[in-house]
C-alpha cells in the first residue's frame, strides 16, 4: 500500500517502489557494501543485483505515516559488519525521511553474504 498524506496543497501518495529505490540507492552510498541481494525462490541462493534492479533487494512496508524497510545486502569481506549495517541504517533513514517527509519506524538489514572486492 503506498504511503499517503494530505497537506495544505493537496493529496500526496508515494509508491513503495519509489521508497525502495531511494533506500537502495542510499544504501549503495555506504562504505563496505558490495551491493543489494535478492533471493532466488527456486534454489535458495542470493544473487548480486545490478544498479537498475536495486529496489528488488529492498522490501517496504508502509502504513499512512510510517515506513518499515528491509534491506538485503552483500558486504565487502574484512570489514566490521555491524558498523557497516549501522551506517546503512543511518543513511537510509536520513535520505528516505528527508525526501519523502515520512517517518521511518524501523530499518532491518539482512546481510546475505560477503564478497572480496577486486
Residues near 3 by beta carbon (within 8 Å), at least 6 away in sequence:
13, 14, 16, 19, 62, 63, 64, 65, 67, 100, 102
The domain that holds 19 is classified in CATH as 3.30.70.1350
Query: What total number of domains does the chain contain?
Result: 1
Q: Tens digit of pLDDT for each residue in 56-73? A: 889 999 876 678 999 999
30 secondary structure, DSSP code: S
Which residues form the domain of 27? 3-115
Q: Are 46 and 115 in contact (CB under 8 A)?
A: no
80-to-13, 65, 109 alpha-carbon distances in Å: 38, 33, 14
Place of cell 560477503: 114
Q: Tens digit of pLDDT for each residue in 9-41? A: 888 888 899 999 999 999 999 999 988 887 654
Q: CA triplet 67, 103, 90: central angle to 5 degrees?
A: 90
Distance between alpha carbon 15 and the CA centroid of its chain, in Å? 14
Entry pTM: 0.84
Amino acid at each position: 500500500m503506498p504511503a499517503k498524506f494530505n497537506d495544505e496543497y493537496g493529496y500526496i501518495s508515494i509508491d513503495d517502489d519509489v521508497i525502495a529505490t531511494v533506500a537502495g540507492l542510499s544504501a549503495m552510498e555506504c562504505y563496505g557494501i558490495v551491493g543489494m541481494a535478492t533471493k532466488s525462490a527456486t534454489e535458495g541462493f542470493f544473487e548480486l543485483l545490478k544498479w537498475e534492479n536495486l529496489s528488488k533487494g529492498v522490501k517496504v512496508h508502509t502504513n499512512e505515516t510510517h515506513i518499515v524497510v528491509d534491506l538485503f545486502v552483500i558486504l565487502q569481506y574484512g570489514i566490521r559488519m555491524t558498523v557497516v549495517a549501522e551506517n546503512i541504517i543511518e543513511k537510509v533513514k536520513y535520505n528516505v525521511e528527508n525526501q519523502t517527509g515520512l517517518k521511518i519506524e524501523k530499518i532491518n538489514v539482512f546481510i546475505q553474504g560477503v564478497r572480496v572486492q577486486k
